[in-house]
Amino acid sequence: MNGVCDEEWAGLVADVCEPRPIVSSAKQFTGRIWSVRTDSVNFDGQLIERDILVHLGAVAIIAIDDQDRVLLIRQYRHPVAMALFEPPAGLLDISGESPQVTAARELAEESGYQAASWQVLVDFLNSPGGSSEAIRVYLARGLTPLVGGRAPTGEAEEAYLPRVWVPLEAAKDLVMTGAIGSPSAVCGILAAWAARESGWTNLRPANGPWPVRDLLLAQGRVHSS
């Protein structure tokens, strides 16, 4: 840019907030989970248009039992017309609820389990080329089943969520062979496998900061439910 031809980066390798000025913005669609808008952006003097899917954000839970098995649930996903094996997960759709509380609620609602130990496993941006969806994946351990099991709280694709326990090493192989491809499963399982290799010593506390979500909220890039 600006006449500079050398495209070798010499700075810090870390994602940073670097917004470009928005000249105008037009709402195209508003739904329950996301909205779509078109921004006219001043990109170093060049006016460009970009469509943005403004998302609520979400959490996912890699729940691992005392045998190092990962809990996955099988759920139909209509956009891809597939039944996917995924970790329990849910939208950040309750105003004022902390992500950790959301995660504990979703683990109970989708699996019928609760956890005594919570840590942040990994954060990721699901599709940053077009969406503002930020996902935090938690590691949950010290699992015990809820009395009475999973409450019948869902409908349609959430009414029946059969679960399976997969050894962490085998779950990693399922990711690497392409047998499972849900982004929360891929990121979460590989992060859990790497964390175990390091003796679980490099994880963040469950209530640790989530700077990316804070930035998205401050910039109006999180959908209002």
Would residue 16 count as lying in a domain? no
If 0-12 CB within 10 Å is exposed, 13-18 middle and 19+ buried, where does residue 206 land?
A: buried
Same domain, 203 and 181: yes
Would residue 12 count as lying in a domain? no
Distance CA 144, CA 129 (A): 39
- Angle CA(32)–CA(80)–CA(158) in degrees, nearest 5? 55
* Confidence (pLDDT) at 5: 64
> What confidence tens digit (pLDDT) does each residue in 40-91 have?
999 999 999 999 999 999 999 999 999 999 999 999 999 999 999 999 999 9
Would residue 167 count as lying in a domain? yes
Same domain, 129 and 29: no
Would residue 11 count as lying in a domain? no
Residue 101 belongs to domain with CATH number: 3.90.79.10
Would residue 221 count as lying in a domain? no
If 0-12 CB within 10 Å is exposed, 13-18 middle and 19+ buried, where does residue 5 land?
A: exposed
Same domain, 80 and 30: no
Would residue 220 count as lying in a domain? no
Would residue 1 count as lying in a domain? no
Q: What DSSP character marks residue 147?
A: T
* Confidence (pLDDT) at 158: 75
Low-confidence ranges of the chain (pLDDT < 50): none
Same domain, 64 and 27: no
**Cβ atoms 78, 184 nearer than 8 A:** no
* Confidence (pLDDT) at 224: 86
Distance CA 166, CA 45 (A): 52
Same domain, 30 and 105: no
Catalytic residue, from 133, 155, 158, 169: name it.
158
Q: What residues make up the domain containing 34?
A: 22-55
> What confidence tens digit (pLDDT) does each residue in 166-180 have?
999 999 999 999 999
**109 given a catalytic annotation:** no
